[in-house]
Amino acid sequence: MKLFTVGPVACYPQVLEAMGRQMVSHRSKEYKTLHTETVEMLQQFLGTNNEVFLFTSTGTGFMEASIRNCVNKKMLCCICGSFGKRYAEVATANGKQVETLEVPLGEPIMPDLLDKKLSKSKDVEAVSITHNETSMGLINPLKQLAEVVKSHGKMLFVDAVSSMGGTEIAVDKWGLDVCFSSSQKCFGVPPGLGMGSVSPDALKKSETAKDKGWYFDFKVWEKHQKKQGTPMTSVIPQIAGLNTIIKMIDANGGKKWFLSLYAERNRRIREGVRKLGLTMFPKSGYESPTVNCINSPDGIDGVTVYEQMREKGFELAKGYGTVQNFTFRIGNMGYIESSDIDSMLDALEVVLDELQLKS
């Protein structure tokens, strides 16, 4: 099966090979070297001097950590799809008051709207933004949104789960306090590792946070980072996989090369589906660089397109949540050969012809 999923995605063979190596202790010299090297490469990739932690959890663990360490009472969650909504749910479940800024599905969060909201909501301590809303295949204008958040002096949490490694993120320049992702997305590593950057302001806030627990306490992680390790057993195979893919990226021309590879795949898929007469779900200009969310043709269920593509050997992704029946998604993350894009688009043409004949 060829994967055009939205995560977990297919992994490069070199990543899988690195993950299959014999274990070392997470307190060994070998691990310390792997840990420090991976953290430093990720810092460079993200343009940051902030601490970068490697959590033994998926990205949602980092989401919860941002809230527990950096919000005492109240935060604002920007919602343009399912994962923005999840931030609000996690904050509520952790006993925080939540304000929301919600836009209609398919629309991005616009800076002027956020500016207005923050002018009225003076008491929120932090703002969460989903950089790339995987459920809608939509990217938000993060750099401009960050400017707004900083102009109001608020802390900024960025869910970059499906954008880190797939599009530009400049953590220090843009002033992102907590910015996290999951291994199983753009870097094409199996699930289980949540990686993210944490600013000095976020660490400061954590010093006085009440009821923040222990497992995701940023201050505990900071202490262990100084000893080139993690508080608990680290997810060594995934870290070895991440180390390998970043080295592969560097060997091939670095971040610029990797981001342009993804942009090119994304463009080819989008052009291909347009040639088949299909339209994109998100507002024009805000289509995701890693996940194309496509309107299924009139009268054809998106889930049926997904299922028929599986019959042809291609795993796409179903539409998510409330748009499931009239969209389907094609991811362009992870290990995808250039020729697979052509064969996937050929198969999609056949599937759509067959379904249109039946309808």
Ligand X SMILES: Cc1ncc(COP(=O)(O)O)c(C=O)c1O
The site for ligand X (CB under 6 A) is made up of 7, 58-60, 83, 130, 134, 159, 161-162, 182
Query: Toward ligand X, which CB reaches closer, 58 or 167?
Result: 58
- Pick 134 or 197: Cβ nearer ligand X: 134
Tell me how far apart the alpha carbons of residues 190 and 11 are, in angstroms, rounded to a whole number.
7
Residue 7: CB minimum distance to ligand X, A: 5
Minimal distance in Å, beta carbon 356 to ligand X?
Answer: 31
CB of 47 closer than 8 Å to CB of 171: yes
Residue 182 or 292: the one with the smaller Cβ distance to ligand X is 182
Total number of residues shown for the chain: 359
In whole angstroms, what is the distance from residue 169 CA to residue 174 CA?
A: 8
DSSP, res 160:
-
- Min. distance of Cβ 180 from ligand X in angstroms? 9
- CA–CA gap between residue 116 and residue 43 (Å, rounded): 33
Residues 328 and 316: beta-carbon distance below 8 Å? yes
Q: Are 157 and 163 in contact (CB under 8 A)?
A: no
Minimum gap (Å) between residue 131 Cβ and ligand X: 8
Nearer to ligand X, 31 or 218 (CB): 218
Residues paired with residue 295 on neighbouring β-strands, in sequence order? 327
Smallest distance, ligand X to C-beta of residue 185, A: 7
Reduced to 3 states (helix: H, G, I; strand: E, B; else coil), residue 151 is helix
Residue with token string 């599905």: 105
Residue 302 and residue 293: Cα distance in Å, rounded?
10
Q: How far apart are CA 238 and CA 240, in angstroms?
A: 5
Determine the Cα–Cα distance for residues 185 and 272; give it in Å rounded to an integer: 23
Q: Which of 69, 62, 112 is nearest to 83 (CA)?
A: 62
Query: What's the CA gap between 354 and 18, in Å, rounded?
Result: 42
Q: In this complex, which beta carbon is closest to ligand X, that of residue 5 or of residue 50?
A: 5
Q: Which residue, 83 or 262, is less far from ligand X as judged by CB? A: 83
Q: Which pair of structure tokens corresponds to residue 76?
A: 């604002």
Least separation in angstroms between residue 321's CB and ligand X is: 12
Q: How far is the CB of 192 from ligand X (least distance, A)?
A: 9
For residue 228, give the amino acid letter: Q
Please say which residue, 230 or 308, places its beta carbon nearer to ligand X.
230
- Fill in the DSSP letter of residue 72: S
Residue with smaller CB distance to ligand X, 134 or 244: 134
Minimum Å gap between C-beta 181 and ligand X is 8
